[in-house]
Amino acid sequence: MSKEIIIETKGLTRTFELGEVKVNALRGIDLNVSRGEFLVILGPSGSGKTTLLNCLGGIDSPSEGKITVEGNDIGSYNENRLSEYRRNKVGWIFQFFNLIPSLTAAENVALALEMAGDKKDMMDRSREALSLVGIPDKANMFPSQLSGGEQQRVAIARALVKRPRIVLADEPTGNLDWVTGQKIAELMRDLNRKEGITFIVVSHDISITDVADRVIHLMDGQISTQKFNGPRTKKVMEE
């Protein structure tokens, strides 16, 4: 793994104020993520996992502390630059695939390009992304015609079609059965290796922690433990 740091957080703090009540969702996170790393974040409900991903993805901003991505302090970005960062630099994968039911698989993927105003060869690039995730033959199907695993592949293609360097995933296998979850874990690991994309994945799924380079535990808004896995020789699926 390369030692180049792609994301660095220093003292990352996020406090939500609800009237009189303060919720300290993140309490001083210092985290370096290497380019090309596959990082998994574990932690109990309410420990701050989604809040951390949202801050890293520029959807939410820290109350205190700093986030540097590829050497740039994203807290210093103006609204335009931040919006460009959100749209083009980061791909998202969610537990519920959030596909649009009235659009085909290819159209769902293309929508990500359309929204970014990046329409050149949009449908070809969308079909390419569907090939990358192993379902080139499903391009013209609607989400309701696809299995859960296939729907998540479409969602992964949608996250990748803009060629982001960073993918943020929040419980990407949380809505899939175990075997399908393993296949999705294997797919993400392959994309991480082949495409050099940095993955930061929130998951309780053992098949994902198995393929991680590093597993971090969040507890009450802080990093409680972290463990680096050895060189990745393990295969997710024993064939």
How many chain residues interact with Mg ion (CB under 5 A)?
1
Q: Tokens 């929040």 sit at which residue?
A: 170
Question: CA 76, CA 61: separation in Å to the nearest integer?
Answer: 11
| Partner whose binding site includes residue 164, from ligand ATP, Mg ion, none (CB under 5 to 8 Å by kind) | none
Identify which range of 45-53, 81-89, 92-100, 130-138 contacts Mg ion by CB under 5 A: 45-53
Which range in 11-19, 46-54, 107-115, 125-133 contacts Mg ion by CB under 5 A? Answer: 46-54
CA distances in angstroms from 41 to 21, 144, 203, listed in the order given: 27, 31, 6
d(CA 76, CA 101): 37
Least distance (Å) from ligand ATP to the CB of residue 64?
15
Nearer to Mg ion, 9 or 50 (CB): 50
Q: What is the DSSP letter of 165?
A: S
Q: Which is nearer to Mg ion, 169 or 184 (CB)?
A: 169
What does DSSP say about strands 38-42 and 198-202: parallel, antiparallel, or unpaired?
parallel
Q: Which lies closer to ligand ATP via its Cβ, residue 47 or residue 207?
A: 47
50 binds Mg ion (CB under 5 A): yes
Choice between 44 and 196, CB closer to Mg ion: 44
Nearer to ligand ATP by Cβ, of 50 and 173: the residue is 50
21 binds, options Mg ion, ligand ATP, none, Cβ within 5 to 8 A by partner type: none
Nearest distance in Å: CB 81, ligand ATP: 23
Q: How far apart are CA 181 and CA 172, in angstroms?
A: 8
> Is residue 116 packed enough to be buried (19+ CB in 10 Å), middle (13-18) or exposed (0-12)?
middle
